[in-house]
Amino acid sequence: MFRCTRKRLKVTLFVFNAICAIMGVILMWFGAWLHSNIGEIDVDNSETLVATIIVLLGAVLLVMAVFGCAATYMESKSMLISYAVILVILLVIQIFLVSISYTAASGSLSSGLQRGFDELWDKRNANTNTTLSFYEEWLHCCGKSSANDYFLMDKVPPPSCCRYQDCTSVLNLYVDGCEKKFGEYVSEKTSSFNLISWCLIMMEFIGSVIACILLDSIRNYRDRIRFYN
């Protein structure tokens, strides 16, 4: 019975590590793809950072899968303990990263966008071609909340607030404010990262539990051998 249970646990952990290895390769490919598709616009280097983190997560997951297979094959108690502990550490780190991601999506602004808002509300700044224009052209937005922000400050909306930079028609004026549009942009970018992270967190939790059960099974099996011998 112990032998059967131990073999089943080993097969289960082998399959689990194979899935982890495949996910690690996919993550590295996905991170590299994100990095190669980052255009000229990279807000505060955040997209480069996210792509790098995803590649690193994939690499760590692949290494851990190989290490887990070796520990399972050798039935090494010390290696299995190390494997389970590292998985738990990775789990905690990823929960921390997910919390940062949710915080970023809930309302943080880039330094450039905040500077643009400050320039907009500065009455001494009569120039409408501010830092905010960059975000208005990129996100197709106008002002902080809407184009009314300019009118409230007795300013004329700049060409960046209009489609094709043509403000001769009211229909070309962007309706949404940049604060809302930037929040939507960040939420869209972080949603994929959060989904991947939660999947990895679940897998790491399951892997650590299986490793602990296998470790206990190996200990019981060896104790039985010593007892009967």
Q: What is the pTM of this model?
A: 0.67
CA atoms within 13 A on the CB side of 133: 11
Structural domain contains residue 189: no
pLDDT of residue 1: 44
Structural domain contains residue 157: yes
Structural domain contains residue 12: yes
pLDDT of residue 2: 45
pLDDT of residue 213: 86
Q: Is the separation of the CB atoms in 161 and 142 below 8 Å?
A: yes
Percent of the chain with pLDDT over 90: 4
Model pLDDT for residues 41-85, shown as the tens digit of each residue = 555 556 777 778 888 888 988 999 999 999 888 888 888 889 989
Assess whether 101 and 126 both reside in one domain.
no
Assess whether 86 and 142 both reside in one domain.
no
For 215, the domain range is: 2-106+200-228
Assess whether 128 and 170 both reside in one domain.
yes
Q: Can you tell me the distance from the alpha carbon of 201 to that of 197, in angstroms, rounded to the nearest whole number?
A: 6
Assess whether 206 and 98 both reside in one domain.
yes
Structural domain contains residue 79: yes
Model pLDDT for residues 77-130, shown as the tens digit of each residue = 888 889 989 889 888 888 888 887 777 666 555 555 566 556 555 544 545 556
- Of 106-110, 132-136, 207-211, the one with minimum mean pLDDT is 106-110
* Tokens linked to 13: 């952990």
Q: Is the separation of the CB atoms in 75 and 68 below 8 Å?
A: no
Counted domains in the chain: 2
Q: What is the largest CA-CA distance in the chain?
A: 94
Structural domain contains residue 187: no
